[in-house]
């Protein structure tokens, strides 16, 4: 009786003894500081850019958006950059998404787990880490020449098509990796269930694996669009226009696709290199436009994904 | 007394390997039509491996190799001209954990017949199959809702409805009640009694009472541990369930069913 009650007391005492939480508290404070540091840097950056951009939007407003690529701060605008960047993004979506998702389906669903497929997978991961300037060299060597060949001697292949092809190759490894991961995350029991009712492998993939993987695949591919949107280094190598660009009115779509072009990040780069108003105000304004267009494209893609996606 | 109404499966000298691991050794027995055959035995004895030979699900494991004969109505399932897709239409399967497709109740049942090119009204077929699976009354108002919204027991009955929707001869059940509570288990067992009229059923179970309650014949598997820790499953005894549970001919079987081993 006595022994029992003393044991119960010991338990009660140990339950009441709170551990001092100094270590935990320091850890938590450290985490909050890290978060604030990240947010603070971002906020400073945004504030700086917006502050620089405000005069341009106040003075010229729509005129800046519609303006051409020139080096005069009174007329310089971003319209050609918007058009060029959207065209590049569209080409990337058209080329890299189907090829990348197709490759991912093959790697995950069909390829046997051999040393060779593992070698291929590893190297796709390596390709995703290759600096973008290297893809610029590839684009110059292959796509600029290719488009040049199609177009004949008239131009020199420095076209938005070559840019789209280069960017598509640049994001392809990332599309393959993210799509593979989404497909791998679909439980094997779903595949077994499909095969067990007498569906072929393709029917199981088409009706069960891909719909289940679609949200993940789309999320990953949307992220790669941002990458294609923001890159400038490879474009500089493959001959994007950085000086003065006017596109004559009334030319056909083929001439537009094969002629000179520019892109938003390249415009930011162009304006930021010039001293004076171009650097202080026009470049920040172009950055604001770049961010807004990027957010817009992502928002549209996410809305499309959510509409497609059927949650069960 | 069990009466033979013909043989559906005839297994002779079946050996299954995973790479160089000998998983099942030299198994031979016959499965009779419109009976329930149960496989019992300790974990790792190869009963699920044998079950998955009947619809060639072992094909999905690239390292698996099957030797010997598995004859289905006289045709060797592993001969090169046999199409595993067609085998699986004729031999349905229900898995250990309910695994409905992440789709509606209706689509879960309709998918198999749809890919098999079913002629006629799918709606009627879906209703018939859900009725056979004793689920129709519970889901008739939520056919277009997610299968994931059903309870575990309902999901498993949905999987049974899905498995019989391609009108197979045989239903393979791999521990179908392992993740269900006793009431849901009872419903599945009642259902098996009714399905027995139309289908030959082979069930793997860890629950010896379940085997004794539902099956006509029982195969008892065990596992031999060899040197280097290699474990090979073999069939110890295959007989009418009544005899296995009351008067087994092998001492290992008696040890297992009386709880002295396993």
CA dihedral defined by B198, B200, B202, B205, rounded to 10 degrees?
Answer: 40
Q: List phi, psi (to 5°) of B225.
A: -95, 120
Decide if B92 and A203 are in contact by the 8 Å CB cutoff: no
- The tens digit of pLDDT for each residue in A46-87 reads 999 998 888 888 888 887 888 788 777 777 888 888 888 999
Chain B contacts of A113, Cβ < 8 Å? 62
Size of interface A-B (CB pairs under 8 A): 72
Q: Look at A196 and B165 and tell me if their CB atoms are within 8 Å.
A: no
Tokens of B234: 């073999």
- Cβ–Cβ under 8 Å, residues B212 and B241: yes
For A192, the closest chain B residue by CA position comes to B57
Report how far residue A158's alpha carbon sits from residue A140's, in angstroms, rounded to the nearest whole number: 9
Q: How far is B247 from chain A (nearest CA, A)?
A: 37
Name the closest residue on chain A to residue B164, using Cα atoms: A197
Quick one: pLDDT at residue B243? 92
CATH says B7-101+170-257 is which class? alpha beta
State the smallest CA–CA distance between residue B160 and chain A in angstroms.
11
Instruction: Return the domain boundaries, chain B.
Output: 7-101+170-257
Asked whether the beta carbons of A68 and A246 are under 8 A apart, the reply is yes
Q: Which residues of A touch B61 (CB under 8 A)?
A: none
- Could you tell me if B99 lies within 8 Å of chain A, comparing CB atoms? yes
* B2 CB within 8 Å of a chain A CB: no
Nearest CA-CA partner of B224 in B39, B40, B41: B41
- From first to last of its 262 residues, chain B has per-residue pLDDT tens of 344 558 999 999 999 999 888 899 999 999 999 999 999 998 888 899 999 999 999 988 888 999 999 999 999 999 999 999 999 999 999 999 999 999 999 999 999 999 998 888 999 999 999 999 999 999 999 999 999 999 999 999 999 999 999 999 999 999 999 988 999 899 999 999 999 989 999 999 988 899 999 999 999 999 988 777 788 999 999 999 999 999 999 988 988 888 876 5
State the ipTM, two decimals. Answer: 0.90
Which of A186, A196, A203, A208 should one mutate to test binding to chain B, selecting the residue with the greatest count of B CBs within 10 A? Answer: A196
Give B 100-129 residues with CB within 8 A of chain A. Answer: 100-104, 111-112, 115-116
| Cα A4 to the center of its chain, rounded Å | 67
Tell me the two tokens of residue B93.
Answer: 């399967």
Residues of A in contact with B133 (CB under 8 A): none
A78-262: CATH number: 1.10.3720.10
Nearest to B95 by CA among B159, B35, B162: B159
When scoring B85, B87, B146, B170 by the number of chain A Cβ atoms within 10 A, the one with the most, hence best to mutate, is B85
List the structure tokens of B110.
Answer: 């309709």
Partner-chain residue, chosen from B62, B85, B97, that has the shortest CB–CB distance to A189: B97
Closest C-alpha among B150, B40, B172, A24 to residue B140: B150
């Amino acid at each position: 009786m006595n022994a029992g009650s003393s044991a119960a007391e010991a338990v009660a005492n140990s339950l009441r003894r709170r551990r001092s939480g100094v270590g935990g508290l320091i850890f938590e404070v450290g985490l909050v500081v890290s978060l604030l540091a990240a947010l603070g840097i971002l906020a400073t950056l945004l504030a700086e850019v917006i502050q620089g951009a405000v005069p341009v939007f106040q003075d010229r407003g729509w005129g800046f958006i519609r303006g051409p690529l020139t080096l005069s701060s009174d007329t310089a605008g971003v319209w050609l950059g918007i058009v060029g960047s959207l065209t590049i993004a569209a080409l990337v979506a058209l080329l890299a998404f189907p090829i990348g998702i197709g490759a991912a389906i093959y790697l995950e669903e069909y390829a046997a787990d051999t040393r060779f497929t593992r070698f291929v997978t590893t190297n796709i991961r390596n390709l995703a880490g290759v600096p973008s300037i290297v893809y610029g060299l590839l684009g110059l060597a292959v796509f600029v020449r290719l488009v040049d060949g199609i177009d004949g001697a008239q131009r020199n292949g420095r076209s938005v098509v070559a840019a789209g092809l280069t960017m598509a190759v640049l994001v392809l490894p990332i599309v393959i990796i993210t799509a593979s991961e989404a497909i791998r995350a679909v439980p094997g029991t779903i595949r077994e269930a499909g095969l067990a009712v007498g569906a072929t492998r393709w029917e199981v993939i088409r009706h069960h694996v891909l719909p289940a993987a679609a949200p993940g695949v789309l999320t990953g591919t949307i992220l790669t669009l941002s990458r294609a949107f923001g890159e400038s280094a490879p474009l500089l190598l493959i001959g994007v226009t950085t000086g003065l660009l006017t596109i004559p009115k009334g030319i056909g779509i083929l001439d537009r696709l094969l002629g000179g072009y520019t892109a938003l990040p390249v415009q930011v780069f162009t304006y930021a290199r010039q001293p004076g108003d171009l650097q202080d105000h026009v470049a920040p304004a172009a950055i604001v436009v770049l961010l807004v267009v990027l957010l817009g494209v992502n928002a549209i893609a996410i809305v499309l994904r959510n509409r497609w996606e059927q949650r069960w | 007394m069990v009466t033979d109404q013909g043989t559906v499966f005839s297994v002779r000298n079946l050996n299954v390997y995973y790479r160089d691991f000998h998983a099942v050794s030299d198994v031979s027995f016959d499965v009779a039509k419109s009976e329930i055959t149960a496989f019992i035995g300790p974990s790792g004895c190869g009963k699920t491996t044998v079950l998955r030979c009947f619809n060639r699900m072992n094909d999905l494991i690239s390292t698996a190799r099957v030797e010997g004969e598995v004859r289905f109505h006289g045709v060797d399932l592993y001969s090169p001209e046999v199409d595993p897709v067609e085998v699986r239409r004729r031999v349905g399967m229900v898995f250990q954990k309910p695994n409905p497709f992440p789709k509606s109740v209706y689509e879960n049942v309709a998918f198999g017949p749809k890919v098999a090119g079913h002629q006629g009204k799918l709606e009627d077929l879906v209703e018939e199959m859900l009725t056979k699976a004793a689920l129709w009354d519970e889901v008739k108002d939520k056919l277009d809702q997610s299968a994931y919204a059903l309870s575990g027991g309902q999901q498993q009955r949905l999987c049974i409805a899905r498995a019989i929707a391609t009108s197979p001869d045989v239903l393979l059940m791999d521990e179908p009640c392992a993740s269900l509570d006793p009431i849901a288990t009872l419903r599945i067992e009642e259902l098996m009694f009714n399905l027995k009229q139309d289908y030959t059923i082979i069930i793997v179970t860890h629950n010896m009472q379940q085997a004794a309650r539902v099956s006509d014949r029982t195969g008892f598997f065990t596992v031999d541990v060899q040197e280097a820790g290699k474990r090979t499953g073999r069939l110890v005894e295959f007989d009418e369930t009544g005899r296995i549970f009351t008067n087994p001919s092998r001492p290992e079987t008696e040890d297992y069913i009386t709880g002295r081993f396993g």
